[in-house]
Structure 1
Amino acid sequence: MKIVTDASFEAEVLQASGPVLVDFWAEWCGPCRQIAPALEELSTQLEGKITVAKINIDENPATPGKFGVRGIPTLMIFKGGAVASTKVGAMPKSKLVEWVEGSL
């Protein structure tokens, strides 16, 4: 799992060669912490197919603003520099896997 910042977002996500799932999260967000283990597992399970990245919205306010993130956790799949799919809120790992695989 990759940690991205406002400064590295363009290079790590928008210019990535493959799809990137970005988790917009914050330290104080319970549901964000709830889905973190599932995202970790997903990152290992789908290695080579998709990159999983996290961005802390408190430390990096520019990027969430640019992509209209209003609630967290917000998960976005980027392909070729654009948002291909978005989900807001925590979900069980099975739903997460289903969503990601359906977006690949």
Structure 2
Amino acid sequence: MKTITDSTPVSEIMQASRPIVVKFEAKWCAPCKAMTPLLLDIEQQLGDKVGFYSANVDHCMLIAQRYKVNQIPALLVIDKGAVTAMRTGAASKAELLQWIKQAIPEFGDQA
């Protein structure tokens, strides 16, 4: 999972060649920490089909404001420059995987 900050070029996120999942988190957030290993497992499972990024809200205030993130953990799916889904709160690995697959049209009926 790649880390992004406010200094990360917007083009890296908006013009990514594949869909991406951005996890907004903070070091002091227990549910955020609990979701990290789940998302790392999903990242391995999906291989190169989806990019995964983490954004610490303490260092990504501008990005968090841009995407109207006001609660963490928050997940965004960005595909072809557009946010296709957003969710907040902790979830199980199965719930996260299903949500990601539903949010990315390329997965079709695989969800």
Same fold (TM over 0.5): yes
Retained in 2: the 8 A contact 1:4–1:12? no
**Take 1:27 and 1:78, find their aligned partners in 2: how far apart are those partners?**
23
Residue of structure 1 equivalent to 2:108 = none
Q: Which amino acid aligns with 2:79?
A: K
One-letter code of the match for 2:56?
Answer: N
Does the C-alpha gap of structure 1 residues 9 and 29 become closer, same or farther in structure 2, counting only changes over 3 Å? farther
Which stretch has the larger CA shift, 7-16 or 76-85? 7-16
Q: Hey, what does 1:97 align to over in structure 2?
A: 97
| CA-based RMSD | 1.0
Match of 1:17 in 2: 17
Which AA in structure 1 matches 2:100? Answer: V
Supply the AA of the counterpart residue of 1:71: Q
Corresponding residue for 2:52?
Answer: 52
Residue 47 of structure 1 aligns to a residue whose secondary structure is helix
C-alpha distance in 2, partners of 1:9/1:73?
A: 22
> AA paired with 2:48?
G
The residue aligned with 1:27 is 27
Q: Structure 1 segments of 4 or more deviating over 2 A? A: none
Instruction: Flag structure 1 segments of 5+ consecutive residues without an equivalent.
Output: none
Query: Secondary structure at the residue paired with 1:17?
Result: coil
User: What is the percentage of aligned positions where both structures have the same residue?
Assistant: 34
| Secondary structure in 1 matching 2:76 | strand
Residue 38 of structure 1: aligned partner? 38
Query: 3-state SS of the aligned residue for 1:59?
Result: coil
Which structure has the greater CA radius of gyration? 2
User: Structure 1 length as normaliser, TM-score?
Assistant: 0.95
In structure 2, the partner of 1:64 is 64
CA contact (8 A) 1:24 1:57 kept: yes
Q: String of CA shifts for 1:38-73, please: whole Å, max 9, x gaps.
A: 011111111111101001110121100111101000
